[in-house]
Amino acid sequence: MNGTIQAPTIEYALLSPMLIVFGAAIIGVLIEAFAPRYLRKSIHMPLTLLALLGAFATTILGGVNGLPTSASAMGAVAVDGPALFVWGIILILAFVSVLLINDDEQFVAQAAAVPGSSDEEEAVRSGYAQTEVYPLLLFAVGGMLLFSSANDLLAMFVGLEVMSLPLYLLCGLARRRRLLSQEASVKYFLLGAFSSAFFLYGMALVYGYTGTVSLKGIGDALGVVSGQETLLLIGTAMLGVGLLFKIGAAPFQAWKPDVYQGAPTAVTALMASTVLVAAFGAVLRVFWVALGGLEWNWQPVMWGIAILTMIVGAILAITQTDIKRMLAYSSVAHAGFLLTGVIATGAAAQNAKALSAILFYLAAYGFTTVGAFAVVTMVRDAGGEAGHLSRWAGLGKRSPFLAGVFAFFLLAFAGIPLTSGFFGKYAVFAAAVSGGAVPLVVVGVVSSAIAAFFYVRVIVLMFFNDPAADGPSIAVPTVGTSAVVALAAAATVVLGVFPQPVLDLADQAASALFIR
C-alpha cells in the first residue's frame, strides 16, 4: 500500500466531442463574464455552431477510426457504435435548433426583469438579449452526450443532471407569454428533480445489491449474487422511473405537454428532439446492458408502459387545441412506439435489429420534430406565436407552401408511406414482430390510426377551412429558420424515399451492440 496513485487513462480522442462541447460551454460562460454585451451574441453564435460542428466532425472521425472494444475513461463512458450514432443525431439536431434559437423573437431580453415592469421595457428598448442561452444550450448538449454514453450509473446521473439543469432554465426564458414560460420552467424543474431523486435512489439500491454502479459490473453481478432480489427489483423500478420520466412515458408524461407548451418554441424543439434521443440511449444501456439478465422481470412491465404510453399519447392528443401541446402528446405516443423496440430483445441478431430500428426512428423523428416546431415559430400574430389551432384555419390559402410543408411533417408523424416516419415505424414494428411482440404492434397500429386523426385534423384546418378574418401572419423567417425547415423537410423526404444509407449506418452502429 504505497501512496502512489496511478493516473487514470483518458481516451481524449474518443471523448473529444464531449470535451469540445463542454469546453465551448465554459468559454461561453467566460464570454458572458468578460465580453461587452453588444459583442456577446456575435461571438456566441459562431462559437456554438463551430463547437457543435467540431464535435460532430470528431464524432464522425471516431466512427471512422474504428470502434473501441472496451469502455473509455476507466469504464465511465462507453464510446461504442450506438453512442456515436446517438451523438451524431444529437449534435446535428442541436446545431439545427441553434439556428432556431438565433432569433430575437424567441428569448426574453432580461430574465430577471419582471414581466410588464418598467425595467423590462428598459431592457427591451436597450436591445438586451439573454445571451446565456448559448452556453446553457452547450452544457445541456454536453450533458446529453454523457447521459447517452455513460457506462456507469454515476456518470449517467451526472449526465442526466448536466443535461436537465440548463434546460430547466432555458424553459423559463420565453420572450412572450412569460408567465406560461416561467410556470413551465418551475414545473419542469420540480418534477425533474423529483424524478432524478427516484433515479438516484434506484441507483443506490442497485448498488446495494451488486456492490457496483458500472453497467458491466451490474450485468455480471446479476448472474452470481443471490438473495435480496427485492432490493434489486425495487432498484430497477426506480431507475426505470427516472429514465421513463425523461422520455415522457405514461404515467410519467404529465410534465411534457405543459413544458412543451410553455417553453420557448426553439427550446421545445431542442428538447423534443434531442432529449428523447439521449434518454433512449440511456434507457437502452440500463435495460439491455446492465439489466439484460433481468429481461424476464422488466419486460412485462415495459409492455404495460409501452401500451399505456401509446394509447394515452394518441387519445389525449385528439382534443388538444394548442399546436405545441398537441405535438407534445404526439411525442408521448412516439415514445410509446419506440418502447416497443426496446422490448423487442432476443438473440444478439434480434437485439441488433431492434437497436438499429430505434436509432433510425430517433433520427427520422428528431428531424421531423425540429422542422414542425420551426414552422410553429413562424406562424405568429400580435401576441407572438399563434399557438391556438383555431388560428391556423385556412393557413393553406394564406401561405400554401408553409402549410404544405407542415402538412408533410404531420403526415410523416402519422407514418404515411414515402415519409421518414413510415420507415421509422416500420423498422420498429418489424423488430417488435420478429421479437414476438405482435400484440404490442397491433396496439401500436391501432393507436397510430387514432393518432392519424389529429394530424389530419390540423390538415383539415389548414386546407379545407376558410381563413379566419384576423388570421395570424407568417413571420418573414430568418435565414436560420428557413434553413431549418428546408433541412428538416429534405431529411423527411430522403429518409422516406431512400432510407437505405441511414439504415446501413444504423446497422453498422448497432451491429456490435453496446460494449460492456
Partner 1 sequence: MTTHYLVLSALLFAIGAVGVLIRRNAIVVFMCVELMLNACNLAFVTFARQHGNLDGQLIAFFVMVVAAAEVVVGLAIIVMIFRTRRSASVDDANLLKY
Partner 2 sequence: MPWLSTLMAVPVLGAVGVSLVKNDKLAKQVALAVSLVVLALTVVMATRFDPSSAERFQFAEVHQWIPRFGVHYGVGVDGIALVLIALSALLVPIVILASWHDADGTGAAAPPKRSVRTYFALLLVLEAMMIGVFAATDVFLFYVFFEAMLIPMYFMIGSYGGVQRSYAAVKFLLYSLFGGLLMLVAVIALYVVAEKNTFMFPELIGAIQDPGTQKWLFLGFFIAFAVKAPLWPFHTWLPDAAAQAPAGAAVLLVGVLDKVGTYGMLRFCLELFPEASKFFTPLVIVLAVVGIVYGAIVAIGQTDMKRLIAYTSISHFGFIALGVFAMTKDAGAGATLYMVNHGFSTGALFLIAGFLIYRRGSSRIADYGGVQKVSPVLAGSFLIAGLSGLSLPGLSTFVSEFMVLMGSYERYKVAAIIAASGVVLAAIYILWMYQRTMNGPTAESVKGFTDLNARERWVVGPLVALLIVFGFFPKPMLDVINPAVDKTLSSVHVTPFTPAVAEKKGAGQ
Partner 3 sequence: MQSPVEIFQHSGGVIGVSWLMIALPLLGAAVLLLGGRRTDRWGHLLGVVMSLAAFVVAVAAFVELLGLPAGERRRAISLYEFIPGVADTGLLIDPLSISFALLITGVGSLIHIYSIGYMSHDPDRRRFFSYLNLFVAAMLLLVLSDNYLGLFVGWEGVGLASYLLIGFWQFKPTAATAAKKAFIVNRVGDLGLLIALFTIWSVFGSFAYKNLGAGAVQDALAGGSLSQGTVTAIGLLLLLGACGKSAQLPLQSWLLDAMEGPTPVSALIHAATMVTAGVYLVVRSGAFFEAAPTAQLVVTIVGVATLLAGAIIGCAKDDIKKGLAGSTMSQIGYMMLGAGLGPVGYAFAIAHLITHGFFKANMFLGAGSVMHAMNDEVNMRRYGGLFTVMKITAVTFFIGYLAIIGFPLLSGYYTKEGIIETAMEHNEILGWLAVLGAGLTGFYMSRMVFMTFFGKRRWADDAHPHESPSVMTVPLVLLSIGSIGLGAYLILGNRFMKFLAPAVGLPAELPEPHIFGVGTVGLATLALVAIGAAFAWFRYGAAEVPEVAPRGSFLTVFARRDLYGDALNEALFMRPGQWLTRIAVFFDNRGIDGLVNGLAAGIGGTSGRVRRIQTGYVRSYALSILFGAAVVVGALLYVGTM
Distance from C-alpha of 6 to C-alpha of 307, rounded to nearest angstrom: 50
* Partner from partner 2, partner 3, partner 1, none binding residue 252, C-beta < 5-8 Å depending on class: partner 3
* Partner from partner 2, partner 3, partner 1, none binding residue 182, C-beta < 5-8 Å depending on class: partner 1
CB of 157 to partner 1, least distance (A): 7
Question: 3-class SS at 152?
Answer: strand
Q: Interface with partner 3 by CB under 8 A: which range of 146-154, 310-318, 343-351, 467-475?
A: 310-318
Which of positions 406-465 make contact with partner 2 (CB under 8 A)? 411, 414, 416-418, 422-423, 426-427, 429-430, 433-434, 438, 441-442, 445-446, 448-449, 452-453, 456-457, 459-460, 463-465
* 379-381 sheet: strands from edge to edge: 384-385, 379-381, 473-474
Q: Which long-range contacts (CB under 8 A, 24 or more apart) does 499-502 make?
A: 499/360, 499/364, 499/420, 499/423, 502/360, 502/363
Which of positions 224-253 make contact with partner 3 (CB under 8 A)? 229-230, 233-234, 236-238, 240-241, 245, 250-252
* Partner from partner 2, partner 1, partner 3, none binding residue 240, C-beta < 5-8 Å depending on class: partner 3
| Cell 462507453 sits on residue | 78
Number of residues binding to partner 3, judged by CB under 8 A? 40
CB of 262 to partner 3, least distance (A): 11
Residue 440: alpha-carbon gap to chain centroid: 23
Q: Interface with partner 1 by CB under 8 A: which range of 3-11, 49-57, 165-173, 381-389?
A: 165-173
Q: Interface with partner 3 by CB under 8 A: which range of 16-24, 291-299, 375-383, 470-478?
A: 291-299
- HSE-CB of 196 using CA atoms within 13 angstroms: 19
C-alpha cell at 343: 422490448
Question: 3-class SS at 115?
Answer: coil
Q: Which of 73, 203, 352, 395 binds partner 1 (CB under 8 A)?
A: 203
Q: Which of 193, 318, 446, 490 binds partner 1 (CB under 8 A)?
A: 193
348 scored as a contact of partner 2 (CB under 8 A): no
263 scored as a contact of partner 3 (CB under 8 A): no
Instruction: Look up residue 18 and give its amino acid.
Output: M
CB of 516 to partner 3, least distance (A): 23
Name the residue among 148, 411, 408 with its Cα closest to residue 281: 148
Q: How far is CA 309 from CA 44, 351, 447, 489, in A?
A: 39, 22, 10, 27
Q: Interface with partner 3 by CB under 8 A: which range of 70-78, 162-170, 316-324, 385-393?
A: 316-324
CB atoms within 10 A of CB 394: 18
Contact status, residue 80 vs residue 515, Cβ threshold 8 Å:
yes
Which of positions 69-128 make contact with partner 1 (CB under 8 A)? 111-112, 114-115
* Partner from partner 1, partner 2, partner 3, none binding residue 157, C-beta < 5-8 Å depending on class: partner 1
Q: Which of 70, 121, 127, 194 binds partner 3 (CB under 8 A)?
A: 194
Residue 126: alpha-carbon gap to chain centroid: 35
Residue 189 vs 406, nearer CB to partner 1: 189
Contact status, residue 472 vs residue 383, Cβ threshold 8 Å:
no
Strand partners, 150: 77
DSSP symbols for 240-305: HHHHHHHHT-TTS-THHHHHHHHS-HHHHHHIIIIIHHHHHHHHHIIIIIISGGGHHHHHHHHHHH
Number of residues binding to partner 2, judged by CB under 8 A? 37
C-alpha cell at 140: 445541456
| Contact string 233-272 vs partner 1 (x = CB under 8 A) | ------------------------xx--xx----------
Question: 3-class SS at 473?
Answer: strand
Show the beta-strand stretches assigned E in 71-124. none
C-alpha cell at 154: 454515476
| Cell 438586451 sits on residue | 128
Contact status, residue 382 vs residue 470, Cβ threshold 8 Å:
no
- Enumerate binding residues for partner 2 (CB under 8 A): 396, 400, 411, 414, 416-418, 422-423, 426-427, 429-430, 433-434, 438, 441-442, 445-446, 448-449, 452-453, 456-457, 459-460, 463-466, 499-500, 503-504, 507
**Residues binding partner 3 (CB under 8 A):** 186-187, 190-191, 194-195, 198, 229-230, 233-234, 236-238, 240-241, 245, 250-252, 254-255, 257-258, 296-298, 300-301, 304-305, 312, 315-320, 450, 453
For binding to partner 1 (CB under 8 A), which residues are involved?
111-112, 114-115, 154, 157-158, 161, 165, 168-169, 172, 178-180, 182-187, 189-190, 193-194, 197, 200-201, 203-205, 207-208, 211-213, 257-258, 261-262
